[in-house]
Amino acid sequence: MKFATLPNGTLDGRLILVSKDLTKAVDATAIAPNLLSVVQNWQAKEADLQALYNKLNTETLDAAFDFDPSACLAPLPRSPQWLDASAFLNHGKLMEEAFNTAPIADFDTIPVMYQGASDDFQGPTVDIPMPSEADGIDFEGEFGVVMAEVPMSATPEEAAKSIRLIVQINDWSLRALGPREMNSGFGFLQAKPSSSFAAVAVTPDELGDAWANGRVNMPLHVTWNGERFGEPHGSEMNFSFPQLMAHAARSRKLTAGCILGSGTVSNSARAAGSACISERRVIEKIDLGEIKTAFMKFGDTVRMQAKFDDGTDGPFGVIEQKVVSN
């Protein structure tokens, strides 16, 4: 199934189902008012939602309307919890090499993860206000999962059963603010503005063979101001989503509706390009001896779209946003 959320004056928005080809949608609020309610009551709602989804794709529904992703909010405009990992180890290792920093202890065996703000997720096409260009404005292309409840101390195999939806994310970062916050020992706050999401959240079966080994095996195509930036592939994720979920749940349960991000999609092959500016900058430092690429300026745009390996459009839709002055 494919879900999206339209604004209706409430904090969680209005639930709609979206057709497989992303052209049509139908209101689903007779079944559940919003997507958070669906995830929290999955067993009770799944069959009715699946029946309506099947009708949307096989019949002519009088209630169906044209799907406009630009009208959508984030699939979950807010969530009980937002967790973000750094599951593509190539990204972290590039940072260590470029800046000659000591390796993070157990980086290869214990996932790195932080808890971010989950009260104000942004939709796929809204302008993104930022306080200052001097903060080092950066985009970060990621994949993520929305989960049902995960019991405390769940194994990866147990956690995998709680994956309900898959999403595509732009996890904005302010790079000039990050080092001080990391060195404080308390983690990110100001360095992590509200994350943005592609319009459509999908059940894993919508990815077909591209959902395998607890990973989104798709390239994430990124352009910056209309120019190709990279298309790194999700298959190089070192920790699977179930492994990340089990790590997060080691000492506490995770409630239904929590979202967990993969961290910046990153590949070892330089030809794949990058999904964030910071990574391109460290590659320049390593390969050229100097950093040439600046961070984003007001008026800059970024576009992200996951595609299947055969080049066809992925199921999430497109994130396309402009950075503006707050």
DSSP letter string, 108-127:
TTS--EEEE--S--B-SSS-
Cβ within 8 Å of residue 256, ≥6 positions away: 39, 40, 42, 80, 147, 148, 149
pLDDT at 270: 95
Distance CA(166)–CA(211), nearest Å, equals 10
**Within a 13 Å sphere around the CA of 167, how many CA atoms are in the beta-carbon half?**
38
For the chain, what's the residue count? 326
Tell the CATH superfamily of the 82-325 domain.
Fumarylacetoacetase-like, C-terminal domain (3.90.850.10)
Percent of the chain with pLDDT strictly greater than 90: 89
Closest CA to 191 of 199, 201, 181, 183: 181
For 24-54, give the DSSP string: EEEE-TTT-SSHHHHHHTHHHHHHHHHHHHH
Burial class of 157 by CB neighbour count within 10 A (0 to 12, 13 to 18, 19+): exposed
- Is the pLDDT score of 221 beyond 80? yes
- Is the pLDDT score of 181 beyond 70? yes
pTM exceeds 0.85 for this model:
yes
Cβ within 8 Å of residue 37, ≥6 positions away: 12, 15, 45
pLDDT at 60: 87
CB 264 within 8 A of CB 279: yes
* Domains of the chain by residue range: 2-67, 82-325
Structure tokens at 135: 């903060």
Closest CA to 114 of 176, 186, 174, 164: 186
Closest CA to 1 of 204, 147, 152: 204
Helices (H), the chain: 35-40, 42-58, 89-99, 156-160, 178-183, 241-248, 277-288
pLDDT at 104: 78
- Is the pLDDT score of 106 beyond 90? no
Distance CA(200)–CA(166), nearest Å, equals 9
pLDDT band at 182 (very low <50, low <70, confident <90, very high): confident
Stretch 180-198: mean pLDDT, rounded? 87
β-partners of residue 33 are: none
pLDDT at 99: 56
Residue with tokens 């402009």: 322
Mean pLDDT of the chain: 95
Burial class of 101 by CB neighbour count within 10 A (0 to 12, 13 to 18, 19+): exposed
pLDDT band at 100 (very low <50, low <70, confident <90, very high): low
The DSSP H or E segment spanning 148 is none
CB 124 within 8 A of CB 229: no
